[in-house]
Each structure stands twice: as C-alpha cells, then as structure tokens.
Structure 1
Amino acid sequence: MRPHSRLAAAALLAAAFAGGCSGHPSEPTEALTFTFDFSRGPQGFIAGFADYPPAHAAIYELTADYRALPPPLEPQSALFLSGINRSDDLFMFFKGPVGGLSPGARYSVTVSVEIATNTPAGCIGVGGAPGESVWIKAGATAVEPLPVRDGSYLRMNIDIGNQSAGGAQAVVLGNVANSRRCEQALRWERKSFQDRPVPDPIAISPDGRAWLLFGIDSGFESRTAIYFTRASVTFTPA
C-alpha cells in the first residue's frame, strides 16, 4: 500500500471510531451551578397552580406575574405569586428549563431560593399560621412539572410531598415568616434559604435539559402573596 493510501485508511478508521462514540456522552466530572437573578427578568420561568378544583378557580384568586418589589425594598422586579387557599392545601409554583447538562447522566441536585415576604412570625390563622404554615419548596426533575387532573382537582405529576413534608422531587426549604412578630406592623423583607438536597437524583433527558421548580405549599386558609427574587440549583454527578 502506498504511503498516502495508508494515511487515508488511517483517517477513515479514526473517523469511524469517532462516529461510533458519538452516541455515548462522556460522564460529567464537575458540578454545575445555575443562578437566576429575577431582577434581570423572568428568564423563561412560568407559573402553575395545583391542589385545587379548577371548576372553582375564581374563588382562589390565583395570580402570577412579574412585578416591581414593594417598598421599602429596592426598586427592582421579581416573580410574584398570590392566591387564597380555599381547600386547606394549595400549591403555587414557578418552573423553568435548565440546559447544558450531559444527556443520560445522573445528577444529585441541591436547590435554594430567596423570597420577599411581609408575613410576620407567631400569628394565628385559619387552618394554620400565615407564616409558619406556608412552606417554600424547590426541586428539579427530568420531566416537565405539570398540574394534571385527578378527579375534580389538579395535582402535580411529580412528587412534591404535602405541606410541611417534602417529596422525592422537591424539598422543603423553610416557611414564609419573616423576622418581624405578629404584633408589629407589616413590612416587606427579603428572606434567603440555604441550599438543600433534593431526595432523588435525576437522569437527564437526551436534550440535556432538566426542570427547576420552586413554589409555595400552603396550609393557611387565606391569602398568601410572595415574591421570588432569586433561585439557584447545583447539579453534581451522581
């Protein structure tokens, strides 16, 4: 075989090996952290609601939008959720896609958020306290989190747990009570939550994408209104 023929054959063989490996993504070796500062916009996050009967949605006064923070907080905007818990169990949430992950890889996940709340601690309310009985949850999933019909109610298609208990795909970060006491005047404050691990690791879909979820699970049978100012999720190879 001539020298240039041998080189051509070697090149073809290398190309064949490269093509054969294309369906097997390399295992990730480093943790990836994604932080979303909602003062820069909604960044693709959209709202949803569950644990309520959609035929009676009007009496829940469910609201989700992107709006300016109230004073005395700084003049910037954030994601806003509000609703009246008429069913003793209302879940309000935002979800958004996170890309750039290794397709087919398994990751353990930690999540954290920052909120703005004017709900004081130590108050008494119907069904539970307006602060300590309204829990902030966050999680990550390979499938899109969706409310699905379950009889006359909408329920989540993933395991978020129930009220003070987390689930396989969502962890309880804390509650919405701020630093003020019930006898003091209402005042909006920021409240940050530490990173917490989501119980179940996730396997990433072929498009290299996962879903970040965060929201409010209410046991207080009246109105709750919260701003989400920041969210963070870390994917660590499992």
Structure 2
Amino acid sequence: MVSALFATVSLLTALFLGGCSGSPTEPTDALAFTFDFHRGPQGFTAGFADYPAADEEIYELTSGYRSLPPPLESQSGLFISGINRSDDLFMFFKGPIDDLPPGANYSVTASVEIVTETPAGCVGVGGAPGESVWIKAGATAMEPLAVPSGSYLRMNIDIGNQSRGGEQAVVLGDVANSRRCEQSRQWERKSFEARPLPTPISIAPDGRAWLLLGVDSGFEDRTAIYFTRASVTFTPM
C-alpha cells in the first residue's frame, strides 16, 4: 500500500484566471503520485517474464532493494538484473496505488528515473546492450503477473515486445547512458520524460491500481539497472 510517508500525492487543481498569458498544464482533479525509492521499496516487488520456466537458473535472475554503486552509493534503489538467453527477457517491478475512486476512468502518464552503467554505441549479440534494452512503464487495474503460457512465462497484460509498447505499457526510452562504448564504464542517472499510456484505466471496485516499471531486453547477455524514482499522473476522463 502506498503510504503518505513514502509517496508524494498531490491533487492538481487548475485555476483559470482572466488575463493570464498561459494555460493550465494539468486539468482539475488530476492525481499525481511520486515514488522516491531512496526512501524505501514502497511495496514494489520484482518479477520476470518471457523466458522458459524450466530454465530459470541459467538466466541468473536477481532483484532487491540495494545501495546504489559508486559514485552514487549514498542513495538506494530497486535493483534488477538478468541474462537474456532466449532473444527476449522482460524484468519488472510492480507496486500498488490504493484509495482511488472505484469505477473512475483516467488517462495516465508515467515517467521514471534509472541508474545505468551501460554506455551508448556498443555492439552486442542480438542487439546493442544499451539501445536494444528498453524501459517501459504501465498502469493497470489488474495486478501485473508472469503466468505460464506453454513452456514460457508471459505477462498477463499487454506490454508490447521490446521496442514496441502495448495496450498497458509505453516505451520511455533505452538504458544507454551518456558515455560512449570506448570510455570506461560509470554508473549514471538517466531520467525519462513522462509519456501517456495508450489505453485509459478504469479503477477496480477495490480502489486499487498497479504501477509497472519494466525492462524489455533484446540484448542477449546480462542487463542490470536500478530504478530510483517513478511518477504517475491520473487525469479524469
């Protein structure tokens, strides 16, 4: 459950004032939630999909709440890592947002901040380690889960595939940082601008929605990142 201690929740009220040169950037009663993972995991848990369940061990799937690596070690974040051995691997965190109006319909925008040591411009098996690994965000009334589909685990919501978004997830960008492949590696923060999700959300009777933070890999080797911040805005329709 999102608590007031960890999630900043603001009710954004637009005031139309005569004579103003600008216009409001947020409609009346939009709900904005910000999660700063330096302050704790805030109910977010990890999951993995798009791999054969019987072969999980060789994917070396790892997640947890950790201190950031140098030079950012004074802060913490949600760590997730895995080796893509099947042309595709989806790694994610999900977290609940509670006390929303049941039955309300919202359009949703989302943004995240990550910490990544993957440089730009490298060549890798299946794709580049930076530009062929995509960050996604989603919001759903249904809890996002990895469920059996034949011999594989697949998501129970439409997240798209690699560089493509889905009905419940939007692509925010890739994991390449500001350094080039020929330079020494260094962990850096990378922020992604807020983008709208393609499909509105209808809040479930229990008043809960789920925020999804995903990493969709087309690079056939190890990817490791930290999620350090996430924001989502629900705008009434």
TM-score (norm 2): 0.88
Give 1:31 deviation, angstroms. 0.3
Shift of 1:97: 0.4
SS at match of 2:51: coil
Q: Distance in 2 between matches of 1:90 and 1:161?
A: 12
Does residue 216 of structure 1 match 2:211?
no
Secondary structure in 2 aligned to 1:57? helix
| Alignment correspondent of 2:142 | 143
Tell me how far apart the structure 2 counterparts of residues 237 and 100 of structure 1 sit (CA, whole Å): 15
In the TM superposition, residue 100 of structure 1 has moved relative to its aligned partner by 2.3
Q: Which amino acid aligns with 2:98?
A: G
1:88-117 residue CA offsets vs partner (Å, 9 max, x unmatched): 100000000001211101000000000000
SS at match of 1:148: strand
Instruction: Kindly report which structure 2 residues correspond to 1:80-159, keeping only aligned pairs within 5 A, or say none.
Output: 80-159=79-158
Q: C-alpha offsets along residues 8-59 of structure 1, whole Å, 9 cap, x if unaligned? A: xxxxxxxxxxxxxxxxxxxx95100000000000000000000001100000
Q: Runs of at least 4 residues of structure 1 off by over 6 A? A: none
Whether 1:33 and 2:32 are equivalent positions in the alignment is: yes
Q: What amino acid is the match of 1:185?
A: S
Q: Distance in 2 between matches of 1:97 and 1:141?
A: 10
Amino acid at match of 2:63: A
> What is the aligned residue count?
211
Deviation at residue 74 of structure 1 after TM alignment: 4.5
TM-score normalised by structure 1 residue count: 0.87
Structure 2 unmatched runs, 5+: 1-26
User: What SS is found at the alignment partner of 1:59?
Assistant: helix
Deviations 1:121-172 (A, max 9, x none): 0000000000000000001000000011100000000000000000000000
State the Cα deviation string for residues 195-217 of structure 1 (Å, max 9, x = none): 00000001001111100001100
Partner amino acid for 2:53? P
Q: How far did 1:73 drift? A: 1.4
3-state SS, counterpart of residue 103 of structure 1: coil
**Offset at 1:174?**
0.1
Structure 1: any 5+ residue segments left out of the alignment?
1-27
SS of the counterpart of 1:140? strand
Equivalent position of 2:48 in the other structure: 49
Note the aligned Cα RMSD (angstroms). Answer: 1.0
**One-letter identity of the residue aligned with 2:235:** T
Name the aligned partner's letter for residue 203 of structure 1.
S
Separation of aligned partners in 1, 2:42 and 2:71? 25
